[in-house]
Amino acid sequence: MLSKEEVKKIAHLARIELSEAEVEKFQKDLSVVLDYVEELKNAPVSIVGNLDPAHEVTGLVNVVREDKVEIADNHEEIFGQAPEIKDGYFKVKAIL
């Protein structure tokens, strides 16, 4: 089972605050999932040597389009969703 510290560490990496009860719950839940995928270790493929992973299925390489500026007509709709804006920018809290 994952330790509490491990769960807290990944929760911080994922930027989700967890209560103590949640830490315990996810300790168990994550362990269930990780135990479940354990069998993948026996899968008939090696990750060393001639690895040929599939990150996607389309076979596409570098789809490009013209780099053209277009005017959006929905500024108000976009900024209207934010808790705070200033001079046409999203305003955030102090970083440090």
Instruction: Write down the least CB distance from residue 4 to another protein, Å.
Output: 13
Distance in angstroms (rounded) separating the CA atoms of residues 4 and 12: 12
Q: What is the CA radius of gyration of the chain?
A: 23
- What are the structure tokens assigned to 49, written together? 């040597």
For the record, the structure tokens of 95 come out as: 């970083």
Between 88 and 93, CB nearer to another protein: 93
Which chain residues interact with another protein by CB under 8 A? Answer: 2, 6-7, 10-11, 13-18, 22, 25-26, 29-30, 32-34, 36-37, 39-41, 43-47, 51-58, 60, 63, 65, 74, 77-78, 80-84, 90, 92-96
